[in-house]
């Protein structure tokens, strides 16, 4: 596994263009399975997780090719419904093809997905939804097998799971009749998927609310679609600028997709200005006043769990005693231990962290325990004194395309090795 070497103390200054959202691209790539003709996706980020999804689609019989930054998926050759176990274990998002396969072929076989260390993320909610639509479910040591012709249904999710909402939306899009999903997730990525499915010919109403209705069609057409900007990547660069006392202009950034973050940055003295053309300008002070911050993560529009680690790293720059409560995943504060290796004063258990901000950090050797934890360590390294070596660079590269190169453009001293 590789490393990032970060030398702190340099103020970020410049312009960054935000790439397409990984969390929108992956389910939309999976939804291409539903199409009867090729799908063209623009703005897909070149990431390790995207590469795994390409391998999944190829294993099922699709033809996938890059054309510059555009991804073309021809699903007409798909005739396999068993998702290779080695690919399922590499990336949790491989579960997204279950719904499309079930709707298209009437069968899907998968094992519990891997690729995640932040807590228990069972697929029970997905399976429950498919069973409500008439799928027969068989569990064995080999995994989960689903069979049957799907029927429209009214489904009430026990938790607003993003993945389950998306999987059921995709299955419903090719199931004639109206399917209703209550207590649905409301993330912007849900809306992007809904717009893609509508272009293909399905009718989707209520995406972005907790009550989604999908009227499916027996056949959906291939279309051209542009992936929305990555709100988590935008937050990461905004927090990196804020942590270094910098000034960064974020292009292709939708401020409305960052509820909670913009307000909290303003609360501690960061100037955040929304400009025309999806541009966000972030200007941080050299020093922060003492401002205690308390937040808890939650489903959208709450504070995103995927921003929590990066925000914790930033809070180490702000004098005061801060509290973060992680209410989405039970094991997502592991980065607190790694930050303590750099001198951070943090007291944390699995769910709650007490952060003593305004104290100096010092470079050291740390490890990226998961994707967003790794991004938090990069942010910490940018303002720590001395050199920070972040091991398991590949974990970070699952969700950030050319992170080191883009940070160098705005003044960071960071190198891969």
Active site residues: 116
| 66 CB neighbour count, 10 Å cutoff | 12
Q: How far apart are CA 216 and CA 102, in angstroms?
A: 14
**Distance between CA atoms of residues 234 and 56, nearest Å:** 28
Q: Give CA–CA dist 133/146, Å, rounded.
A: 11
Identify whether the C-beta of residue 88 lies closer than 8 Å to the C-beta of residue 62.
no
- Crossing angle of helices 231-243 and 371-383, in 10° steps, is 20
φ and ψ at residue 359, rounded to 5 degrees: -100, 150
Q: How far apart are CA 184 and CA 399, in angstroms?
A: 25
- Do residues 311 and 243 make contact, with C-beta atoms less than 8 angstroms apart? no
79 is annotated as contributing to ligand binding? no
287 is in an annotated binding site: no
Is residue 155 a contact partner of residue 183, using CB atoms and an 8 Å limit?
no
Query: Could you give phi then psi for residue 304, rounded to 5 degrees?
Result: -65, 135
Report the 10 Å Cβ neighbour count for 217: 17
Residue 92 in marked binding region: yes
**What one-character DSSP code corresponds to residue 160?**
-
Q: Per residue in 292-315, is it b (16+ CB within 10 Å) or e — as a string?
A: ebebbbbbbeebbbbbbbbbbbbb
Q: Using CA atoms, how far apart are residues 225 and 238, in angstroms rounded to an integer?
A: 27
User: Binding site for phosphoenolpyruvate: which residues?
Assistant: 22-23
């Amino acid at each position: 596994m590789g490393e990032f070497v970060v030398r702190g103390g340099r103020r970020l200054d410049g312009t960054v263009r935000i790439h397409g959202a990984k969390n929108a691209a992956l389910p939309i790539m999976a939804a291409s399975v539903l199409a009867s003709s090729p799908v063209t996706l623009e703005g897909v980020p070149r990431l390790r997780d995207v590469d795994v999804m390409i391998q999944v689609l190829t294993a099922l019989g699709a033809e996938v090719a890059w054309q510059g930054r555009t991804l073309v998926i021809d699903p007409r050759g798909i005739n396999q419904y068993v998702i290779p176990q080695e690919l399922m274990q590499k990336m949790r998002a491989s579960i997204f093809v279950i719904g499309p396969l079930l709707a298209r072929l009437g069968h899907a076989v998968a094992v519990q997905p891997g690729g995640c260390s932040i807590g228990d993320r069972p697929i029970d909610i997905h399976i429950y939804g498919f069973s409500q639509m008439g799928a027969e479910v068989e569990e064995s040591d080999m995994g989960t097998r689903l069979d049957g012709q799907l029927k429209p249904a009214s489904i009430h999710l026990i938790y607003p799971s993003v993945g389950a909402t998306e999987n059921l939306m995709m299955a419903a899009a090719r199931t004639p009749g109206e399917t209703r999903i209550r207590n649905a997730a409301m993330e912007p990525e849900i809306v992007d998927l809904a717009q893609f499915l509508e272009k293909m010919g399905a009718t989707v109403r209520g995406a972005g609310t907790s009550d989604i209705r999908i009227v499916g069609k027996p056949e959906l057409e291939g279309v051209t679609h542009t992936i929305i900007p990555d709100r988590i990547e935008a937050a990461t660069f905004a927090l990196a600028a804020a942590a270094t006392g910098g000034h960064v202009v974020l292009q292709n950034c939708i401020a409305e997709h960052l509820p909670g973050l913009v307000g909290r940055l303003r609360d501690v003295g960061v100037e955040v200005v929304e400009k025309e053309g999806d541009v966000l300008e972030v200007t941080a002070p050299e020093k922060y006043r003492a401002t205690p911050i308390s937040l808890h993560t939650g489903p959208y529009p709450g504070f995103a769990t995927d921003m929590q680690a990066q925000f914790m790293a930033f809070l180490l720059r702000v004098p005061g005693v801060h509290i973060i409560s992680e209410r989405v995943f039970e094991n997502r504060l592991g980065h607190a231990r790694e930050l303590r290796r750099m001198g951070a004063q943090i007291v944390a258990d699995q769910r709650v962290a007490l952060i003593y901000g305004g104290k100096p950090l010092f470079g050291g050797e740390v490890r990226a325990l998961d994707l967003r934890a790794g991004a938090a360590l990069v942010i910490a390294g940018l303002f720590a004194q001395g050199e920070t070596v972040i091991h398991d660079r590949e974990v970070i590269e699952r969700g950030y395309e050319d992170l080191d190169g883009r940070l160098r453009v705005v003044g960071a001293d960071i190198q891969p090795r």
